[in-house]
A and B are shown apart, each in its own frame.
Chain A
Amino acid sequence: GQEIAAVAVTAALDRARDCVFSNHRGHGHFLAYCGELFLLLAEIFGRPDGLCGGRGGSQHLQLRNFYSNGVLGGTVGNAVGVALAEKKKRSGAVTCAWLGDGAFGEGAVYEAMNIASLWRLPIVFAIEANGIAQTTLTELQLAGTIAARCAAFEILLEETSGTDFASALAAATRAVDAARAEQRPHAIISHALRLGPHSKGDDTRDPAVLGAARANDPLASLRRDAGAAAETIEREVAALMRGTLAAALAGEAA
């Protein structure tokens, strides 16, 4: 259910130079960044030809200017350091830091946001607000609003739909372009839907809530938008997935 943010924000980046620091749920961010499906699957399967030779696994991905780590919140400070490095090098790069609403419980996030704003760093905080952290609903763990927290650091904010691609892309483009032009942090909140469990079978939400979320699956609206082409696209994607999955499964374990 969170595909829209990954694709929209990444599409707004200049991937030849911009940097991405993703989090513990970064497969979508990674695929949007580079499309290297085989490298990702082989890594998850622990293959030597995986992205990191099987050493990183699902949560620890690195390719070119893309990094991720499995500890919530800590990566945001790393992304701020990357943004500072690129600013000092005058590369013109923007850094994108992915985090979810659950990460706003971590103090390290605020240390990082403070420095990003204080030092006027070209960074975009891409916030996936799906309303739930593992099994804990946001209203049980977050006082006030994420928007107000961004405002406290004078970080400009775009709030976007988690289901409408066109508006999400327009908002992400405004944020990324402004971060680059103005050399200051921006934030994008994507009000996303989490359609599945946190990991395997640990979704404790009411089936009615889940059903309502699934009824708003952004892929369904994309399918509608694509019209007649949808069937061809889905067939091609399914074939690519099947072939790549088989190739990744065929490899030897690391």
Chain B
Amino acid sequence: MTRATTVLASLNAGLHAALADERVLVLGEDVLDPYGGAFKVTRGLSSQFPDRVLATPISEAAIVAVATGLALRGFRPVAEIMFGDFLFLAGDQIVNHAAKYRAMFNDKVRVPIVVRAPMGGRRGYGPTHSQSLEKHFLGVPGLWVAAPHPLLDPGALLRQAIAIDDPVLFVENKIGYAEPLQAGASGYETVPLADAQAPFPTVWLKPPRPAECLLLCYGGMTSLAIRAATHLREREQLEVGVVVVSQLSPTPVSHLEAILSEAAPAAVITVEEAPAEGGWGGEIVSSVERIRDLRGFGTVAYRRVGAKNTPIPSARALEDAVLPQVADVVAAALDCF
């Protein structure tokens, strides 16, 4: 197999490799060849593993329900929800079935399912096919939420999700699929962080001098955050670090502790594609502030960058005005100094 060069190719290779384990099944809408899934993540799988790649009806609740039943009986299913926007159709299955069983049955069962969901806009798909709804699934007991990005091997992250014994919501990003993989970013040391409490790795792009400002982001916002950081370093002479989280929930507090043991930033900016209100960034701010308080370093200015709190318009210019841009991140950082 040639080495994957994009997020999409890496995820596809990861699924091919995962299916070598006969307990792994892939199910979802339109996942069979020759179509190979709406975003081609499952391309080639049904040709190679016809018995374990299942095309389903347009029934998101049943896709996750069936995956959960399979998992209870020893399989490790990977369910695809064609657009993350449709995740609420399976929300009861994720929250009240898959995520509950292990705890409410007193640890006697396991539900190792992965629910893959492409999120995000910037393709002109409009209000119901462009959202980033993962924030509504953060903080659900028994549910991991993880998101790949180009700085670490997305296929390996997916295989890690498949190997975990509990349900994982795996949040992909539609425009992120085409992005080339990259080992790091120019001018930064790449510091990976992972531990038992937070097994999905965080990538810390650590600047040469102590960071005055930290940008925290995940998934599809990674490239945008790096562009904003580069701008701030080159044009504004701000020493900016970038923290790319892949474990969205539970919050990887131990990773933040490790980073903040080496940095005492004056500003912390969270960057997410969904409206920031009630979102991921608020959880990060809460954790960072608690660590700051315990460590006793100086006041931090916090800003959350996200989409405007309105449905995402279809027309390109209108969509651009709603979704967060590099300039929004730059402006939020400069507002702190």
Contacts and interface: CB of A to CB of B under 8 A. Distances in A.
A74 B104 contact: no
Given A77-B66, A83-B69, A56 B104 contact: yes
A173 interface: no
Interface in A48-97: 51-53, 55-56, 60, 62, 67, 69, 71, 74-86, 88-89
A55 B106 contact: yes
Given A56-B104, A115-B59, A77 B65 contact: yes
A22 to B, nearest CB: 13
A108 interface: yes
B61 A80 contact: no
A79 B57 CA distance: 17
A78 B104 contact: no
Interface size range on B against A: 20 to 34
B188 interface: no
Given A84-B66, A107-B61, A111-B61, A69 B72 contact: no
Given A52-B106, A74-B92, A108 B100 contact: no
Contact of A80 (B62, B92, B103): B62
A60 B73 CA distance: 18
Nearest to A114: B57
B251 interface: no
Contact of B72 (A74, A76, A81, A118): A81
B70 interface: yes
Contact of A85 (B56, B70, B108): B70
A85 B75 contact: yes
A226 B109 CA distance: 40
A99 B227 CA distance: 54
B96 A69 contact: yes
B69 A85 contact: yes
A62 B109 contact: yes
B42 to A, nearest CB: 18
Contacts of B109: 62, 67
A211 B62 CA distance: 40
A77 B72 contact: no
A124 interface: no
24 contacts: A56-B105, A60-B100, A60-B105, A67-B109, A74-B92, A76-B65, A81-B68, A81-B71, A82-B70, A84-B70, A85-B73, A85-B75, A86-B73, A89-B73, A107-B61, A108-B61, A108-B92, A108-B93, A111-B62, A112-B65, A114-B59, A115-B56, A115-B57, A115-B66
Interface of A: 19, 21, 51-53, 55-56, 60, 62, 67, 69, 71, 74-86, 88-89, 107-108, 111-112, 114-115, 118
